[in-house]
Amino acid sequence: MFMSTHAKGQFDVKLTPQAAEDGVGHPSIGRLGLFKQFHGDIEGVAHGQMLGVRTAVEGSAGYVAIDHVEASVHGRRGTFVLQHSGTMRQGQMSLVVTVVPDSGTDELTGLRGRLDIQIVDGKHYYDFAYELPSA
Q: What's the CA gap between 54 and 115, in Å, rounded?
A: 24
- The secondary structure of 13-62 as a DSSP string is EEEEEEPPPTTSS-TT-EEEEEEEEEEESEEEEEEEEEEEEE-SSTT-EE
Q: Which of 64, 74, 68 is nearest to 104 (CA)?
A: 68
Average pLDDT, the chain: 93
Q: What pTM value is reported for the model?
A: 0.92
At 46-103, the pLDDT tens digits run 999 999 999 999 999 999 999 999 999 999 999 999 999 999 999 898 999 999 999 9
CA 55 to chain centre: 22
pLDDT range class, residue 1, cuts 50, 70, 90: very low
Pseudo-torsion of CA 41, 111, 87, 127, nearest 10°? -20
Classify 100 as helix, strand or coil. Answer: coil
At 10-57, the pLDDT tens digits run 999 999 999 877 667 787 899 999 999 999 999 999 999 999 999 999
CATH number of 2-133: 2.40.350.10
